[in-house]
Chain A
């Protein structure tokens, strides 16, 4: 299974083993499940959006500049992760790893800003237990942030394996799948940014 015969040399490394092909396809299905997961949290958020009694209004405490910087950080990290895959296809292991590390730094920057935003909000009196709106706000952004943290840990593990074992169909598959995951988190954040922060500033 791992050692497939008659592979077209133009096939990208991550698609060369049959396990690689199965894993990538399976991961797409998993991302489908993740869409359902986030869709449910978004639905919850929109249902409870008006329940702001007893706490600060989002428009009073949101710092849009801060969030725009966060958005730029994450969007750029998605771009650098794309470059890493491009370098992987060209078999430039070293620059692939450099771009992955840059991706991680952007990710960490995002995470740092998100956590400091949460601390700021808590000081403003908007906590997990303040009211239904803030509960759903924290669950939505927190679930996304938790995914980002897992993604960072995962990519570190993958980089470690590439350094140890070189770029093989197996490690290439892992880099590719973790980058799919990373793009997905970016995609979710676009919806968080528009529906939570931008719409939150309107009303």
Chain B
């Protein structure tokens, strides 16, 4: 056992050694702080075992911000390495590991949990529900994501990181990469993928079955619509990835021949299966982002979203097309001209519904009185930058032209323009926008705007030069270049931009602390003069039961109409009824720990540990089956308690 730890703990690289020490110190610090302030019980009962969708959402977002930090440090290390030619800062192997973890973490452990966190916070409130359909499952979703991410992340200090790119192409990842790195990739994502699939099912059922009376499908807020469509994509795309990961796990651990070069294996099968999931995955992250921008733009333009039905239609069309374009990720890998043509056309067709959405946002802004809040600034910056990302996407989508652009920095710049300007801007916009709903106070606007300018300008300074580097022929995934290549000046500019983004992120996180200390506390639930039901709660942070009385919906922008009506006729007496709520549960956390144990066992081929984890997971499921009637029975919030909560607030107002 001791030898096992000694052989795998990475101590020879000074940077990783420093990471080891800082992780150790942080863990000691957290344990000490929790013990000193006697917060263990609070952490367990209020957070770890919670089934409250708002708290689970907050946990997702905290985890996502941590992962954004980790992925961001990876990015800065890469930029540092590429700033000057012939740089010896990182070795080629270390560089490979860093671009692999950067991509994987940013997509799967940052963007998705950030958006799922915001969905958890906002969607049940937007449809006037008391929680999601399956609160227990929601907790399990979070913890399996968390432990999957944890398993992936410990690779860099214990055993070595995956090094075959986030796309993990075979045969490199099967036969060309010994060591536990790729196993970490396969099992970390597998475990967190279980959580994602369950989230998808949970939100489909929640949105279809639990809407407030009067909220027809075509009266749902746009973020709820995007969540619904995204959930359908998750349900049909993630099982593909589950299988794909499992097949490679079998190749690596049990000697099967799916993606090998020998004995009839087919490496191209990996590329196809990976992108059959991978391209829908792009829309899994970008559609909710579109939803957030729709909410933010409608709120701060003070208008109903323009072209609501065309927005919904284009969402559905995008989700359908997202399954039909996967080959454009490997036009140059031997497809025939006919095949490439078909996928070229489907790819470019996606620009049509996306363009409809862009024009709808512009039309919403047209002749409106725009309030330049931080959230709105992220949304306004999104439109032009995302258009750059989209147009370069169409350029790449032309199969013949792709032979020129592919595998260069032009591609890197393109997908960062879609994923940062689309997804990350949306995460920040949604974070600022729903912040008062989560914590009862706004984020400081001055600091928020400062963070915005640093990040948005830094982003463009970082990635615009990369289009030019691509034209100049700089290939992606190279760890260094020669001075004669002539790429130095643009790389220096790009690194400066990356530093700007880093500063923006630090200000954003500092703003969390600053606002916690100094921001004015909200007295109503309606921080932004909002239009949708999440702002209709009586208190700034909604009570755990969300709504004392389930609201009745009479049109799009339900809360806006309620406010208009209230001005006319003054209130009637409200009668409360006891509210049924689900109970907390510890099983999901314990089950996820067993997932982790099983995953770790498989990574290092420690069979006893894998079997132990497997038996533990199944045992937890059996336990849940036997106890579900007790878990689900929940408890009732009494009328007195509701009155107490609601009246307390009314006096203040």
Q: B242 and A26: CB pair below 8 A?
A: no
Contacts of B240 in A (CB 8 A): 36-37, 40
Q: A132 and B265: CB pair below 8 A?
A: yes
Q: Does B629 contact A (CB under 8 A)?
A: yes
Q: Does B264 contact A (CB under 8 A)?
A: yes
Q: Does B638 contact A (CB under 8 A)?
A: no
Q: Does A25 contact B (CB under 8 A)?
A: yes
Q: A129 and B254: CB pair below 8 A?
A: yes
Q: B254 and A130: CB pair below 8 A?
A: no
Restricting to B622-645, which residues have a CB under 8 Å from any CB of A? 622, 625-626, 628-629, 632-634
A139 CA to B629 CA, complexed, in Å = 35
Contacts of A154 in B (CB 8 A): 625
B453 to chain A, nearest CB (A): 43
Q: Does A33 contact B (CB under 8 A)?
A: yes
Contacts of A98 in B (CB 8 A): none
Q: A26 and B201: CB pair below 8 A?
A: yes
Q: Does B202 contact A (CB under 8 A)?
A: yes
Contact A29 B201, CB 8 Å, known A1-B580, A139-B247: yes
A156 to chain B, nearest CB (A): 10
A130 CA to B255 CA, complexed, in Å = 9
Q: A22 and B266: CB pair below 8 A?
A: no
Q: A33 and B238: CB pair below 8 A?
A: yes
Contact A26 B258, CB 8 Å, known A52-B264, A165-B629: no
Q: Does A95 contact B (CB under 8 A)?
A: no
Q: A132 and B239: CB pair below 8 A?
A: no
A200 to chain B, nearest CB (A): 16
Contacts of A52 in B (CB 8 A): 264
Q: Does B375 contact A (CB under 8 A)?
A: no
A2 CA to B266 CA, complexed, in Å = 51
B322 to chain A, nearest CB (A): 14
- Chain B residue with the shortest CB-CB distance to A157: B625
Q: B236 and A131: CB pair below 8 A?
A: no
Q: B266 and A132: CB pair below 8 A?
A: yes
A23 CA to B632 CA, complexed, in Å = 11
B178 to chain A, nearest CB (A): 18
A120 CA to B235 CA, complexed, in Å = 37
Q: Does A128 contact B (CB under 8 A)?
A: yes
A146 CA to B73 CA, complexed, in Å = 42
Stretch in contact with the other chain, from B18-26, B203-211, B463-471, B487-495 = B203-211
Q: Which of B243, B257, B260 contacts A40 (CB 8 A)?
A: B243
Contacts of B634 in A (CB 8 A): 1-2
Q: B134 and A22: CB pair below 8 A?
A: yes
Q: A33 and B197: CB pair below 8 A?
A: yes
- Interface residue SS majority, chain B: helix
Q: Which of B209, B254, B269 contacts A22 (CB 8 A)?
A: B209
Q: Does A141 contact B (CB under 8 A)?
A: no
Contacts of B238 in A (CB 8 A): 33
Restricting to A27-79, which residues have a CB under 8 Å from any CB of B? 29-30, 32-34, 36-37, 40-41, 43-44, 47-48, 50-54
Contacts of A138 in B (CB 8 A): 256
Q: B235 and A136: CB pair below 8 A?
A: no
Q: A41 and B202: CB pair below 8 A?
A: no
Q: A51 and B264: CB pair below 8 A?
A: yes
B611 to chain A, nearest CB (A): 15
Contacts of B236 in A (CB 8 A): 32-33, 36
Q: Which of A54, A128, A157, A158 contacts B254 (CB 8 A)?
A: A128
Among B239, B240, B580, the one with the most A-chain Cβ atoms within 10 Å of its Cβ is: B239
Q: B256 and A129: CB pair below 8 A?
A: yes
Q: Does A133 contact B (CB under 8 A)?
A: yes
Q: Does B133 contact A (CB under 8 A)?
A: yes
Q: Which of A1, A19, A48, A160 contacts B269 (CB 8 A)?
A: A48
Q: Which of A19, A128, A129 contacts B632 (CB 8 A)?
A: A19
Interface string of A160-197 (1 = CB under 8 A from B): 11000100101000100000000000000000000000
Q: A132 and B201: CB pair below 8 A?
A: no
- Chain A residue with the shortest CB-CB distance to B134: A26
Q: Which of A25, A47, A170 contacts B266 (CB 8 A)?
A: A47
A52 CA to B633 CA, complexed, in Å = 54
A2 CA to B204 CA, complexed, in Å = 21
Q: B239 and A36: CB pair below 8 A?
A: yes
- Chain A residue with the shortest CB-CB distance to B208: A25
Q: B263 and A25: CB pair below 8 A?
A: no
A27 to chain B, nearest CB (A): 9
Contact A135 B258, CB 8 Å, known A44-B247, A47-B266, A157-B622: yes
Interface string of B560-580 (1 = CB under 8 A from A): 000000000000000000001
Among A19, A52, A133, A168, the one with the most B-chain Cβ atoms within 10 Å of its Cβ is: A19
Q: Does B282 contact A (CB under 8 A)?
A: no
Q: Does B144 contact A (CB under 8 A)?
A: no
B618 to chain A, nearest CB (A): 8
Contact A136 B625, CB 8 Å, known A25-B208, A51-B264, A51-B266: no
A133 CA to B200 CA, complexed, in Å = 33
- Chain B residue with the shortest CB-CB distance to A36: B239
Q: B263 and A51: CB pair below 8 A?
A: yes
Q: A51 and B265: CB pair below 8 A?
A: yes
Q: Does B273 contact A (CB under 8 A)?
A: yes
Q: Which 4 residue pairs across A and B have the least CB separation, nearest first?
A: A51-B264, A132-B264, A37-B239, A135-B256
Name 9 A/B residue pairs within 8 A (Cβ), A-sorted. Answer: A1-B632, A2-B580, A29-B235, A30-B201, A44-B247, A48-B264, A51-B264, A130-B263, A135-B258
Residues of B within 8 A of A (CB): 133-134, 197, 200-202, 204-205, 208-210, 235-240, 242-244, 246-247, 250, 254-258, 260, 263-266, 269, 273, 276, 580, 582, 618, 622, 625-626, 628-629, 632-634
